[in-house]
Chain A
């Protein structure tokens, strides 16, 4: 898909992706809030159609890093990003890049479910309608809800308020809502931390199905979750990237002692 775009438009890009298997490359990314450096010189690649987890103790900068990927930090006064985040052969923070377009192609699910106080149906169609979606809305809603494993539970009450759903259902609705935009990457900021264990299990199963078509980056403070579902893991502490590797290695044979201490529970 990426290759197609480069050929069709015939334009040469200034920031080509180096690794064909990556959909997103972070190169020496530092994030500042005024004078405070929250993320320090982080570099790693996000592989397409895989789940990459970012773990670390509270305040290590993982959420900040995640929000910089879809330019949500733009809303924080005094936030500044250095380094490069390469996506679709562009630097996401380049001068010509449109943040609104970035957010359409890189979606996000938040820690606490935040459905709009509208009907289930309207929650899902809201985003695409802004873009002038021309296909069948009913199909879009059904498709998105099926992808989020919520269709069977709500198909009879699509026009009821989304606020009537349980916490776990609301979060799956937020996932469906994000998927309706057909993003290439889905960012998930501790999506299960406000949910009960059963809902959490549902969403983890969902992520396995989703990675077939989407790339997922998930921030989680739950190490077991990262070990269960992710393919790659990045471990951060105090703004630094301590280690980035295949998940199996991070949890069985980490290269850095600090990583070993964290995953074996000696701190954090």
Chain B
């Protein structure tokens, strides 16, 4: 027998040591990410805190840092959230419903599936170029909120479709069969049973997608969202700016004060994201409870 030697027992101790070191290493790396997040948030808060006051939120951007504010950017972002939600949620959920419930599972639907997965990986700046050519130029919507919202909707559509499909897949087949056996049509079943059952999962996916849309700058840059906007947009056809654009603008300036203003803008942006995610979790919990 080639075992049962004394070297084997020395090896055993070494192997155990290796295992412990390895586990500790992996743990350390993981917790470093946590530490990193804390450092990042702390840094931003410290830098921007002194600029964060009501005047900051209520003022327009200015060449003078003491007078600069993010009112136009914040309002622009809120407009964008609403418009993008209005456009992308119906379209995205409809597409997901079609692919999961109505389409015959053949070569074509598989092709669409692959296509959507690929679209999800296209860089956001390409969507910006697309939006520029189609919405700003071809449809002559100019550099308006509508152009921005349509572009962003295209960007997050694949994400919404994929997340909604996952949610719809989890609804048990038995619910559908029960409805069909009562003589309901496919749409009646979908609207009355499948959609409500998958609603929490869809909500989660939608909010995640919208959060992503709010943080994206590149597409808005491409379609020409302005960087110095001293007015509030009043309708979807008005030109606009948004939080990430304003932050980008301030960060690119050399002066220290503008960097700090950018930090304050980041705090506002992260707060908006936090609010959105909390709303999503709230809605999801509420609707999950109702279904039980």
Contact = CB atoms under 8 A, between A and B. Distances in A.
Asked whether any CB of A lies within 8 Å of a CB of B in the complex, the reply is: yes
Interface of A: 98, 100-101, 128, 130-135, 140, 181-182
B12 A133 contact: no
Contacts of B238: none
A140 B2 CA distance: 10
A101 B16 CA distance: 11
Contacts of B16: 98, 100
A194 B8 CA distance: 36
B111 interface: no
A215 to B, nearest CB: 16
Contacts of B1: 182
Interface string B16-50: 10000000000000000000000000000000000
Contacts of B12: 98, 100-101, 131
Contacts of A101: 12
24 contacts: A98-B12, A98-B16, A100-B12, A100-B15, A100-B16, A101-B12, A128-B2, A128-B3, A130-B15, A131-B3, A131-B8, A131-B11, A131-B12, A132-B7, A132-B8, A132-B11, A133-B2, A133-B3, A134-B2, A135-B2, A140-B2, A181-B3, A182-B1, A182-B3
A134 B3 CA distance: 8
Contacts of A133: 2-3
B255 to A, nearest CB: 56
A182 to B, nearest CB: 6
B4 to A, nearest CB: 8
Contacts of A128: 2-3
A99 to B, nearest CB: 10
A175 B43 CA distance: 58
Given A98-B12, A98-B16, A130-B15, 4 more contacts: A100-B16, A132-B7, A135-B2, A140-B2
B21 to A, nearest CB: 16
Contacts of B11: 131-132
A80 to B, nearest CB: 23
Most A-side CB within 10 Å, residue of B3, B8, B12, B16: B3
Contacts of B2: 128, 133-135, 140
A4 to B, nearest CB: 10
Interface in B231-280: none
Nearest to A139: B2
A181 B1 CA distance: 10
Nearest to B12: A101
Interface string B162-204: 0000000000000000000000000000000000000000000
A131 B3 CA distance: 8
Contacts of B7: 132
